[in-house]
């Protein structure tokens, strides 16, 4: 099914892709999938000083990693480009000149200093700052004079009195008194189009039908609607979604921990987990089900079901989803992902028995809510990283455990090499000879054999370690003081 629905994600490439922006991209992507429409990626790089190629690359990489793929975008796909605003300047200039010719925009020569003192003065009087219209009715002579002095004007949009009303798919009817807007800039003095102008021209020429973006743009929308009107164009449908808040209910920022998609990837979150998590921030599936495949999400998704209340970021929930997806991941992929953390910890994985590595990964899978947590457990399996934790030492040196520890060592020394992949015959012997059961045996064994107080199931660890390595560790444990 194809429809004429066309949506876009339009990031400014001034940094890494934030999870808030990724969520906006996701909502657009899901809506396009659901409606059989097209999802367009447009790079809003008119802020030349802050935009970088590296950010563009990182944004594309992170969207691809999440599986948020576009039909048209700056990587050479699509017929409605270019998809970078810095390559669309002649188009903006043309429309700005037309509007100027029609008297709908005017040249303003006010200095940044004047604007700043105007702002301060208005604030001091308890007013919302806005341009006071000083240059609204300059004569042609005044304009020529200032231009001949080398002054370079900005172009301001002439905002007439009236109401701007639109139906927002999430918030319902929104109305703004244009008096509060002030004559806003559409072209800066360096000739660069301002966001509110470039955005309208691009959305129109790219035939965007629905603009889905964060609430932080709500105040831009009436301005953009005025530009649509001035150009004689029909505005798209708007849907503004609330932004993600931190647990303290302030806008999610670095203070609350990781915010960039790439940080989550590096920490060891799976893309399907992050995607599932992001869609749940502000959307509930009709069935109430929380764990959903991308196909299920597309099927159940609806823009109008997005909540008007701001969602609160919960790292705990994200980790819960991630541990679910880690357990569901097939072993081949899991091993590939985990081995990069092994390598980072200095383990020469290429020279090792691949089967052994795969067994370790399969075992650790149950204990991880984030892939990078494997680092805590590597010492269990690799002697070069083995050490006793402080907690384990406390258990091992405790006088009431010494005898049982010696007994365990004796049992092992008399035990023929383990067969099969179960440690249970050995555990039964430990129980029999020490007379201990449950926690009082298992905590001691875990401390002595793995050096840690937590980790994967002991019964599965024992055969992977083998008799000699366990004996060595128990001897080391008995030497602790
Ligand atoms: N470049 C704007 C931003 O990153 C896009 C806003 C919009 O979607 O219109 O916030």
Q: Is 59 in the pocket of ligand 1 (CB under 6 A)?
A: no
pLDDT at residue 77, rounded to an integer: 83
Long-range contacts of range 28-33, CB-CB < 8 Å, 24 or more positions apart?
28/212, 29/68, 29/69, 29/70, 30/279, 30/297, 30/298, 30/301, 31/5, 31/7, 31/210, 31/212, 31/301, 31/303, 32/5, 32/6, 32/7, 32/71, 33/298, 33/301
Query: Which atom in ligand 1 lies closest to the alpha carbon of residue 24?
Result: 8
Instruction: For residue 425, report the distance from its CA to the centre of ligand 1, in Å.
Output: 63
Question: pLDDT at residue 200 above 90?
Answer: yes
Condensed to tens digits (0 to 9), the pLDDT of residues 43-89 reads: 999 999 999 999 999 999 999 999 999 999 999 888 999 999 999 99
Q: Is 44 in the pocket of ligand 1 (CB under 6 A)?
A: yes
Q: Please name the residue whose Cα sits nearest to atom 6 of ligand 1.
A: 10
Q: Is 10 in the pocket of ligand 1 (CB under 6 A)?
A: yes
pLDDT at residue 1, rounded to an integer: 45
Q: Which residues contact 101 (CB under 8 A, 6 or more apart)?
A: none
Out of 213, 220, 221, 236, give the residue to mutate to test ligand 1, the one with the largest number of ligand atoms within 8 Å of its CB.
213
3-class secondary-structure state, position 175: strand
Question: Is CATH 3.40.50.620 what the domain over 88-241 is classified as, yes or no?
Answer: yes
Instruction: For residue 207, report the distance from its CA to the centre of ligand 1, in Å.
Output: 17
pLDDT at residue 76, rounded to an integer: 82
Question: pLDDT at residue 418 above 90?
Answer: no
Condensed to tens digits (0 to 9), the pLDDT of residues 301-338 reads: 999 999 999 999 999 999 999 999 999 999 999 999 99
C-alpha to C-alpha distances, 223 to 105, 210, 278, 301, 366, nearest whole angstrom: 13, 17, 30, 30, 53
Q: Is 272 in the pocket of ligand 1 (CB under 6 A)?
A: no
Question: pLDDT at residue 417 above 80?
Answer: no
Contact 211, 237 (CB under 8 A): yes
CA distance 126 to 407: 81
Query: Which atom in ligand 1 lies closest to the alpha carbon of residue 211?
Result: 8
Q: Is 239 in the pocket of ligand 1 (CB under 6 A)?
A: no
Q: Is 217 in the pocket of ligand 1 (CB under 6 A)?
A: yes
Class of domain 386-481: mainly alpha
Question: pLDDT at residue 371 above 90?
Answer: yes
Q: Please name the residue whose Cα sits nearest to atom 3 of ligand 1.
A: 11
pLDDT at residue 267, rounded to an integer: 96
Q: Please name the residue whose Cα sits nearest to atom 5 of ligand 1.
A: 10
Class of domain 6-85+245-305: alpha beta
Query: Which atom in ligand 1 lies closest to the alpha carbon of residue 220?
Result: 9
Helices (H) and strands (E) in the chain, counts: 20, 9
254 is catalytic: yes
Higher local confidence (pLDDT), 418 or 459: 459
Instruction: For residue 430, report the distance from its CA to the centre of ligand 1, in Å.
Output: 65
By residue count, the chain amounts to 481
Residue 106: phi, psi to the nearest 5? -140, 160
Query: Which atom in ligand 1 lies closest to the alpha carbon of residue 216?
Result: 10
Out of 7, 8, 12, give the residue to mutate to test ligand 1, the one with the largest number of ligand atoms within 8 Å of its CB.
12
- Choice among 254, 316, 344, 454 that is catalytic: 254
Query: Which atom in ligand 1 lies closest to the alpha carbon of residue 203?
Result: 9
> Could you tell me which of 407, 387, 365 has the C-alpha nearest to residue 447?
387
Q: Is 12 in the pocket of ligand 1 (CB under 6 A)?
A: yes
Condensed to tens digits (0 to 9), the pLDDT of residues 27-45 reads: 999 999 999 999 999 999 9
Q: How many CB atoms lie within 10 A of CB 309?
A: 9
**Average pLDDT over the chain, rounded to whole?**
96
Instruction: For residue 11, report the distance from its CA to the centre of ligand 1, in Å.
Output: 6
- Per-residue pLDDT band for 415 (boundaries 50, 70, 90) equals confident
Query: Distance from first CA to last CA of the chain, Å, rounded?
Result: 73
Condensed to tens digits (0 to 9), the pLDDT of residues 243-278 reads: 999 999 999 999 999 899 999 999 999 999 999 999
Q: Is 11 in the pocket of ligand 1 (CB under 6 A)?
A: yes
Q: Is 199 in the pocket of ligand 1 (CB under 6 A)?
A: yes
C-alpha to C-alpha distances, 156 to 87, 96, 97, 131, nearest whole angstrom: 22, 10, 12, 10
Condensed to tens digits (0 to 9), the pLDDT of residues 113-148 reads: 999 999 999 999 999 999 999 999 999 999 999 999
What is the percent of the chain where pLDDT is above 70?
Answer: 99
Instruction: For residue 266, report the distance from its CA to the centre of ligand 1, in Å.
Output: 26
- Tokens describing residue 61: 């990489």
């Amino acid at each position: 099914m194809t429809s004429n629905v066309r949506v876009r994600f339009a990031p400014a490439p001034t940094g890494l892709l934030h999870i808030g922006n990724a969520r906006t991209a996701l909502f657009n992507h899901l809506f396009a999938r659901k409606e059989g429409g097209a999802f367009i990626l447009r790079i809003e790089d008119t802020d030349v000083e802050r935009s970088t190629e590296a950010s563009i690359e990182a944004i594309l990489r992170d969207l691809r990693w999440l599986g948020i793929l576009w039909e048209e975008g700056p990587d050479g796909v699509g017929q409605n480009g270019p998809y970078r605003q810095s390559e669309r300047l002649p188009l903006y200039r043309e429309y700005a000149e037309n509007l100027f010719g029609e008297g709908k925009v005017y040249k303003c020569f006010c200095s940044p200093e004047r604007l700043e003192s105007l702002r301060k003065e208005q604030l001091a009087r308890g007013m919302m700052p806005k341009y006071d219209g000083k240059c609204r009715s300059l004569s042609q002579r005044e304009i020529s004079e200032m231009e001949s002095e080398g002054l370079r004007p900005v172009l301001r949009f002439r905002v007439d009195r009236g109401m701007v009303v639109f139906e927002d798919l999430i918030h319902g009817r929104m109305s703004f008194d244009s008096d509060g807007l002030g004559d806003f800039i559409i072209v800066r003095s360096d000739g660069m189009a301002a966001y509110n102008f470039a955005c309208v021209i691009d959305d129109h020429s790219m035939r965007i039908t629905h603009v889905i973006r964060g609430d932080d743009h709500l105040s831009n929308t009436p301005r953009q609607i005025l530009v649509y009107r001035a150009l004689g164009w029909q505005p798209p449908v708007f849907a503004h979604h609330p932004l993600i808040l931190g647990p303290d209910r302030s806008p999610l920022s670095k203070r609350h921990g990781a915010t960039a998609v790439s940080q989550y990837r590096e920490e060891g979150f799976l893309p399907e987990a992050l995607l599932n998590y992001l869609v749940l921030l502000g959307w509930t599936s009709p069935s109430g089900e929380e764990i959903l495949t991308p196909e299920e999400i597309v099927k159940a998704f609806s823009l109008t079901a997005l909540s008007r209340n701001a969602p609160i970021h919960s790292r705990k929930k994200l980790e819960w989803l991630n541990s679910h997806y880690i357990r569901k991941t097939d072993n081949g992929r899991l091993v590939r992902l985990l081995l990069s953390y092994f390598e980072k910890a200095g383990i020469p994985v290429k020279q090792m028995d691949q089967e052994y590595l795969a067994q370790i990964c399969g075992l650790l899978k149950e204990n991880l809510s984030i892939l990078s947590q494997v680092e805590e457990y590597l010492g269990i399996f690799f002697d070069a990283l083995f050490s006793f934790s402080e907690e384990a030492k406390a258990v091992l040196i405790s006088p009431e455990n010494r005898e049982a520890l010696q007994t365990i060592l004796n049992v092992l020394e008399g035990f023929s090499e383990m067969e099969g992949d179960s440690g249970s015959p050995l555990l039964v012997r430990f129980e029999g000879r020490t007379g201990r059961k449950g926690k009082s045996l298992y905590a001691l064994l875990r401390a002595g054999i793995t050096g840690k107080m937590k980790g994967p199931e002991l019964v599965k660890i024992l055969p992977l370690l083998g008799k000699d390595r366990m004996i060595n560790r128990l001897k080391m444990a008995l030497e602790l003081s």
